[in-house]
Amino acid sequence: MVPVALLVGLSATMLIMTSTAEHAARATSATSATDVWLRQAELALLTCFAAVSTINTVVAVTAERRREFALLRLVGATRRQLLRMLTAEAALTTAVGVLLGAAVAAAATAAFSTAATGSVLPSVPAAACGWIVLGAAALTVPGILTTGLVTIQGAPTEQAGAGRD
């Protein structure tokens, strides 16, 4: 959940702070096209970095569970049951990560908005925030499920003993 929360928290915070700063600057006529472009480029770079980190972590953590999946198969779990379990875990991971990230973004942007505009309510581009949530889900759910599918391939007896020294 932590990588998803970091992705959402970082992306949403930067997006909302950028939107709030642009809104405040427009009110005082102190913004330029270059300032807007630089903020958007910074937002895109940070979001890409967070996305790569998220997918790397999700894949690594799921792949490390090879032995656990093999043991579940040895005690009678079917591949279909493991896939349902992974689907539920992926959905829960995404949902909790998004909620934690949103809470972090809300706290950070409220403080920024108060300093920039005098109002605790920042300028929130709802559609863009929706894309952040969809992006987090698009990285997390397929990342977990695809890695899980690859990980449960092969004989569970061999995989259950893997990693033992």
Q: Which residues contact 104 (CB under 8 A, 6 or more apart)?
A: 5, 9, 13
CA distance 150 to 12: 32
Question: What's the gap between Cα 10 and its chain centre?
Answer: 9
pLDDT tens track for 84-125:
999 999 999 999 999 999 999 999 999 999 998 999 999 999
Of the candidates 141, 146, 124, the one whose C-alpha atom is nearest the C-alpha of residue 14 is 124
Lowest mean pLDDT among 7-16, 80-89, 128-137, 147-156: 147-156
Q: What number is the average pLDDT over the span 78-87?
A: 94
Token digits of residue 155:
């004989």
Residue 55 has what pLDDT?
A: 94
